[in-house]
Amino acid sequence: MQETLPKRYVGYVRVSTDEQARSGLSLQAQRERLAAWATAFGHMLVEVVADEGESAKTLDRPGMRRVLQMIDDQAVDGVVVAKLDRLTRSTRDLLDTIDRCERRRVAMASVSESLDTSTACGRLLVTVLGAMAQMEREQTAERTAAALATKRRQGRRFCRHAPYGYRFDDSDRMVEVEAEQRTLDEVAAILGEASRPSLRTISRLLAERDMLNRDGRPFKAASVAGLVAAVERRKAAAA
């Protein structure tokens, strides 16, 4: 039976304040946990990289850059931390780092969370973390959309450029643009015809009636789709 060689791991430790760095107690405690973990699982701890007095807001830290370079160079078989928040407090950064490790066939392990991406359970935990991150992004998007919808209902600025038919005044209030409103009226009239015309047909009809876009050019079919949507929104709001 072939003997399994110990895997080479680089340890990473971090403290966020200069006071913690000067005392050395937290760093030493992390190092001891990493050493105990390596001994328990029969791995080789080839180096322990430290970031002293560094925040976990981003991955742009001297020690972290060194660890990432070791991952890219496949200089080790895995990375181990005492706790995931030593690595980063951002779920997105964590998942990006784990993905980076997976692409280089480098394992990621955490002592406190019992995470080890070289095992099936570890990969399951990563999947759960990814689902949580996706939920967080979707919730943020929902909150942003709700806030913008509220601003729109109140006639306040909700985007960089006002939708066609309107402009933002000096008070960031949305006011109608008469010429653009006439264009929307014309589109509504065309749509009200018995045979619903195509976007290209509407574009041609608007050009024949000298109705141009904000740049003074004829509306392309893709732009007409936006006009149709604006007409539909106006109709729904009036209902």
Known active-site residue 203: no
- Rg, the chain, Cα only: 29
Residues 109-161: pLDDT tens digits?
999 888 888 887 877 777 777 676 667 767 777 776 676 667 666 656 656 77
Any idea how long the chain is? 239
Compute the distance between CA of residue 201 and CA of residue 213 in angstroms, rounded to an integer: 16
The pTM assigned to this predicted structure is 0.54
Residues 6 or more apart whose CB falls under 8 angstroms from that of 228 comprise 187, 191, 199, 202
Q: What is the pLDDT of residue 3?
A: 45
Compute the distance between CA of residue 109 and CA of residue 111 in angstroms, rounded to an integer: 7
Compute the distance between CA of residue 46 and CA of residue 13 in angstroms, rounded to an integer: 14
The residue-averaged pLDDT of 177-195 equals: 85
Residues 6 or more apart whose CB falls under 8 angstroms from that of 56 comprise 14, 16, 85, 86, 87, 88, 89, 90
Q: What is the pLDDT of residue 22?
A: 66
Chain centroid to CA 48: 30
Give the lowest-confidence range in 58-67, 99-108, 217-226.
217-226
- Which segments of the chain are extended strands (E)? 8-15, 44-52, 78-81, 107-110, 115-116, 166-168, 174-176
Compute the distance between CA of residue 122 and CA of residue 42 in angstroms, rounded to an integer: 18
The pair of structure tokens assigned to 74 is: 């496949």
Q: Which of 16, 26, 110, 203 is catalytic?
A: 16
Compute the distance between CA of residue 78 and CA of residue 109 in angstroms, rounded to an integer: 7
